[in-house]
Amino acid sequence: MEAMRVLLVDDVHLERMQLAMRLQRLGHVVEAVGSGHEAIEKYPLFDPDLVLLDISMPDMSGVDVAKQLRLQHEEWVPIIFLSGHDEPEMIAKAIDMGGDDYLVKPVNKIVLASKLKAMQRIAHMRHKLKEASVQLEQANERLSQQVNEDGLTKLANRRHLDQKLAELISMHGRNNFSLTIIMIDVDHFKPFNDYYGHLEGDRCLQLVAGELKSTFSRAGELAARYGGEEFVVLISNCDKTQAVRECERLKQCIKKLEIPHSKSTTSNIITVSQGMVSWVPTGLETPENMYQIVDKVLYKAKEQGRNRFVAAEFT
């Protein structure tokens, strides 16, 4: 059984040192302190598996120390009270006050060794549970990522986009902030896919998505795959003037990718068209009607020759 980290709290120096040596001889790591205040200070730093706590101390009683530890730290760690009293009523009261066991001083060697074996089993189970909890949390994070992430581009998927847009509409409506939606379409993607093949088509979308993710990575920004070769960017607290700058910045970022497109009638490299709407929500808008509005201005950008952006007149 693995060694425990034991926090020993006793105001009597000689008794503290004697018990600390016994614990060390049994193979445990010991932090021995002489007051309740020291115990509270050392506890988070030492991270014990077991607390041996004198119930009668002048500065702060063991009962008060136990209460503080239970209040300040969510994770349960067993506390064994130490006392010179062996009356049943005293033992019962100590357990009621937050202790998990009770040892009478001077502590019998055989009793001490037996109690520690029991505590080692508990510590072992605690460590196993902590490991399982961490693994479960990691698994939940991976699952959440899979649920909210588009498999090909690794951007947020449509489900997560809808949820986030609804939240932002509500939040910006309450606070009277401007919200921006940019819908992006890869120009002439079908002829690109037909000519270069689906693998290159996927790679093209991944490169564009990577640029979106790095360009819009600040707090309050979300880049998502809307569907097919269409993407959506949400930008919090962003008015039309700033949104125009963001659209221009994105246009230049896509240009720098220099993805060849010999079948485009717009350019010899991949370009994108963008529709943008910036407005102060009322809080009553839905993602669906906002997509409809921004999709219409995206269509205008395509009609006007592509490789450009158009801003909605939205009031």
Catalytically active residues are: 229
- Residue showing tokens 């060849």: 260
DSSP string, 258-278: --B-TT-SS-SB--EEEEEEE
Gap between the Cα atoms of 25 and 35, Å rounded = 23
| Structure-token pair, residue 314 | 């939205």
Cα separations in angstroms, 261 against 73, 145, 209, 255, 275: 60, 33, 17, 12, 22
- Determine the residue type at 188: H
Between the two ends of the chain, the Cα-to-Cα distance in Å is: 70
3-state secondary structure of 147: helix
Give the Cα separation of 87 and 80 in Å (integer): 16
* Per-residue buried b or exposed e for 129-140, using 16+ beta carbons within 10 Å of the residue's own CB: eeeeeeeeeeee
- Identify the bridge partners of residue 227 per DSSP, sorted by sequence position: 230
Q: Are 29 and 23 spatial neighbours (Cβ–Cβ below 8 Å)?
A: no
Count of alpha carbons within 13 angstroms of residue 35, beta-carbon side? 6
Place of tokens 């395509």: 302
**CA torsion sign, 137 to 138 to 140 to 141?**
positive
Closest-CA residue to 222 (of 166, 187, 181): 181
